[in-house]
Chains A and B, each alone.
Chain A
Amino acid sequence: MRKFAPWIIGLVLLFWAVSRMLPPKEVPGFDVPGFGRLPVLVDGRVMPMDTLARVTLSEMNHHGAYTTATGNIELPSRGLMEILMRPENSDTAKLFEVSNQEIIDLFGSQDAKGQFVHYSFNELKPFFGEIEKQAGLAGQSDPEARNPFARGIIKLRDSLRVYLELKNTLQAEDSPDFGKEIRAFEAAIGPGMQAVRDRDANKPFNERDFERMLLFTQRYQNLTLAKYAYAIPNPQRPTENDGWQHISESLLSGITSGQVSYPAMIYGQLISAYRAGDVKGFNTVVREYGSYLSKTIPEKLNRPKLEFLFNEAQPFLQAMTLYVIVLVLALFSWLLWPKTLSKAAIIVLLGAFVIHTFGLITRMYLQGRPPVTNLYSSAIFVGWASVLLCVVLEWIYKNGIGSVCGAVIGFVTLLIAHNLQLDGDTLEMLRAVLDTNGWLATHVVGEALGYSAMFLAGLIGIIYIFRGLLTTSFDEAISRSLGRMMYGVVCFATLCSLVATILGGIWADQSWGRFWGWDPKENGALLIVLWNAITLHARWGGYVRERGMALMAVFGNVITSLSWFGVNMLGVGLHSYGFMDKAFGPLLAFIVSQLVIIGLGLIPPRYWRGIQARGKRSLLAQAQPALAQSGER
């Protein structure tokens, strides 16, 4: 029984995690998942409606949530359905988050101080003029120089614009029944065009038909201003840039062909059914449209469909939960049932790693790219590679350190990724300079591997310091094995970061015309290489031993975090496409914490409990024979 206990604990936890990843069961009511799977082109890529919902909602508020006026939280896809098809409802939903007190004061509102306040579109309506004016003023300063007010007001303006565009994605938002409207439009095309031709030929023409045509054309011309998401597939013109149309373009092109395209009609029917509360009709139309799509553009459906399942499964969230469980198991294993719990920890760690890997590979397939393309994916990858290294360490040393490190780094990096996700679409298209899979796969991946090894070495360093300072079980064997682990990991980090940095230089030589340009991101990578070189030479020269190595590895955390996030905050240079500013506080806190740990590590060893205990043990060892002898006498 003892033998199976860890397996039982581990597998139960894994089954629980996997069960949370399965697609949701069908529920009565509108076919929300069916709608969430429908493809739409946004920012140059085809995504499921569900992703559009998640991306736009997280631009509006940091939970990415659709909260109705009565405070209910709806699924993202359901929220998007409201915005797209019943905007008079979504106008009252609390979508827009404002966290900056100065902006709240601008509205003259006395809402709770120092908290996020959520406004609905209708509540913000009276302030549109002021928001537009302030955002315009704020936009005149350089992005790096903007204060929180300026950044907040620009973000609010942008999310209001996106919301307006969304409302006019499938229909004209003021239409009481868009399905009926486009049928009327289709019926008006024939007579209307006849009237236009007659008028051009100076013949008598039907004025009513002419006026109707003019009104429709003007209405849909105005609608083209709201182009953001392109929901209408256009299989007739399959070149990449014409493959998708905005509803307005689709309707306007109907004027020449004499009829409204099938997908536009379908969306009209969907809207009519949804607004009428006709569940059965809505679900039938969704199914019909699905089979139409799989006949006309089957090759464009695989990725959106998979992406929908991926969104539902949230593998990184499951992996994150499991990493926390691993940490709890590993920590408890030091207190009770050490063998059972530490083995269970390893099993769950492996399971979490498999889920993490599955998520990573799915993302690679969806994007058709190597794993690291932006800051978000770098966090996912750094975590993944660290956990892999930890699994290897655990396999070699079997002392539980690997499980603890894997759990901590896996959790923290996925948490960072989770926060970065709020900046928008994480599978975004790449800028021209990044558009080479070869370099992305070597230079960028190499740098990320370097980061993961640096953080792992740093974490082992932290464990070294705390175990030495606080625990009495810190004997020389543990000290030496921790030292060897750090040394091996630092060697690996040096290899990766040096090679990746030089490869980056060669890439720069090929795209910007110089091998090295002292750009902040390049300098950040160079700092890591230099620090590793110092660490290794100091060890080879015998200037530092295990404790020194631990201190240096912890300082490596500082250097790596600066190189990873800090340089992006400078907003200088050709690499600044990874720009971000709100991480400044957490980064500073992290650096201070690392410096405090280094300070603790500098406490002279004679005050370390681990070393004091060693002294006592050796005294005891000396004393024992003497005592034994005296006992004999």
Chain B
Amino acid sequence: MIAAGGAIWDVLTTDSTYSSTMRFSTLLALAAIGEWIAERAGTMNISVEGMILTGAFTAALGSHWTGNVWLGLLLGILGGLGVASIQANMAHRFGTNQFVVGLTLNVLAIGLTAFLDAQISPQVTATGTLGIPILKDIPLIGTALFDQSWIQYFLYPLIPLAWWAMYRTRWGLELRCVGENPQAGDVTGIDVNKRRRQSVYVCGMFAGLAGAYLTLGQTGTFGADGVSGRGFLALAAVIFGGWALKGAIGGALLFGAFQAAGSVFQALGYKANPQLLLSMPYVMALATMLVLATRSRKPAALARPFVRGLA
């Protein structure tokens, strides 16, 4: 017991714990913001995985073609948006089952990126790190938060911006409305499926940014392994967070810590069961749903297609 406490204390007081956590959490948080917006508007967007993967690849392509990181970043966002436009229109215009579309898009993204990567093998110019003076010298968290790729710094303003857009604008109110009670929204004149499509587009752009961050800001190369399952982890973070933004961000930070913990424990000479650590996010998301079920903070119309006249 004392040994375990000591190990945790050691881990908590090591700088590298926080920087390796952020390496995972930044991607998760970016994707989770997008997924949160989509889910609040009523889409369980499982193709977020495919969106991140596509964004990661198109960012690599952009960097390969132009040698410019900004254009790479832009193309990454557009890649995520491209997947989103298929998801949004198939599910919320043509009435196809959203999970069927999402699943298919995930398979397509895995196949297409791996295929094109093998055929083209893009060369990526990475961003490197950009330290912010003074702030980066904060003990423990300074390096993790303020001495990283500049793409990570986009995350900080985007969190309050997403909150403001969802809770303080008419558009956000309408999005939340079509996620809770689309029939009521329809009666008041909101184009329900249009708002839902928009929410998926936003999700695609966030996921694309997350993918671009992975390629350009972190690994400096496209690798499907870097994404595998992170989209689902972001989705789990939204569920774990009880469909609140701060919960989703908290989930992303916590799940990132679980992913980082294995290697940190090892580096400090402690033993930890990596499988247990890596399965914790999914177990916690499940447990949250089991506990929250009665309190029902889930958007009431989540994953329910809207067809006018059907209650």
Q: Do A and B bind each other?
A: no
Where the two chains meet, the residues of B that have a C-beta atom closer than 8 Å to any C-beta of A are: none
